[in-house]
Amino acid sequence: VNAATAPVPTEERLSAAERGRLEQLEGVIERGLASFIEVGEALVEIRDQRLYRSTHESFDSYCLERWGFRRAHAHRLVQSAKVIRALSPTGDTPAKERHARELAPLLADPDQLREAWSDARERATGSGEQLTAGHVREAVESRLSPERLAIRELSGTDQWETPTDLYDALDAEFRFELDVCALPHNAKCDLYYTPEQDGLCQPWLGRCWMNPPYGPKLRDWVGKAHQAALEGATVVALVPASTETAWWWDYCRQAEIRFLRGRLRFSNAPTHAPFASAVIVFGRPARVIWWDWQAQGRAR
Ligand SMILES: C[S@@+](CC[C@H](N)C(=O)[O-])C[C@H]1O[C@@H](n2cnc3c(N)ncnc32)[C@H](O)[C@@H]1O
């Protein structure tokens, strides 16, 4: 029986006053919902058309000074708006931005996205609780098992976004000027190279950040970091700790190596990576550090 058409027991019927109040409350939800979608889309347009350019040097400084939030927050709003757009044909979308945001890792797979959203609500109903971001996260994570993440990684995704706290710790130490490989939404510096510009063909000068695209060209990225350091740059790279590879032996071994404790949870990944990582500082003499970077944060 369709819940919308089933007869309603007398004791469950709403009075006229309650129906009026429900309509009012749903109006509030609809307006709120429309506003976070609109905010997300407005930010995309301002960023992509560089409409901030007469008053601000970068989208980052525009977001921070005009609205008091960082680029990462702007990106989250954009992602949440995309989730709502993707779910809207079903007529059943999250009313809260933090619920929509949790669904973003499934944006590439609309069927999984829909299933996860209905699963999240069933989880909440099953436990007799109000729906929380935790229910949504669980529903998403159950669809993105470590095995699936590993497969995605092996099939060559190049979008493992640096965890913010790791980047912040390194940025506090190195004060990066250039992100050598990025897209506008994940760039870590105001100055960055995109796939269109091809970071591999551009000059790398000053203090550079590199979280390279994983795939067949990884060796070229690490080789270029090594070469740029010989020419005077400092290139700090986040790479898989694949010590068996030729590029580790040929390039990383000659630089400062920081093995990271544990496995990273990349910012846009729902679970921890299925591989270990290391930070390589090209431009510093060879040495090996066992770096418990999170313990350093806790001690501060
Ligand atoms: C692992 S992600 C890192 C993103 C971001 N810089 C960070 O640290 O979180 C690698 C990025 O490099 C970009 N990329 C791929 N090929 C590139 C190229 N030839 N030149 C510049 N960027 C490239 C990808 O689109 C992706 O956004």
pLDDT tens track of the chain, all 300 residues? 344 445 667 777 888 888 888 787 777 766 765 677 788 888 878 888 888 888 888 888 888 888 887 777 787 888 888 898 899 888 888 888 889 988 988 887 888 899 999 999 999 999 888 899 999 988 988 887 554 555 445 444 677 889 989 999 999 999 999 999 999 889 999 899 999 999 999 999 999 999 998 877 899 999 999 999 999 999 999 999 999 899 999 999 999 999 999 999 888 776 788 789 999 999 999 999 999 988 865 544
Tokens (6 digits) for 277: 């990582």
Residue 153 in contact with ligand 1 by CB distance below 6 A: no
Best mutation site among 70, 157, 158 for ligand 1 pocket (most ligand atoms within 8 Å of CB): 158
For the Cβ of 40 lying below 6 angstroms from any atom of ligand 1, the answer is no
How far apart are the CA of 181 and the centre of ligand 1, in A? Answer: 4
The answer to whether the CB of 224 is under 6 A from ligand 1 is: no
Cα 205 to middle of ligand 1, angstroms: 17
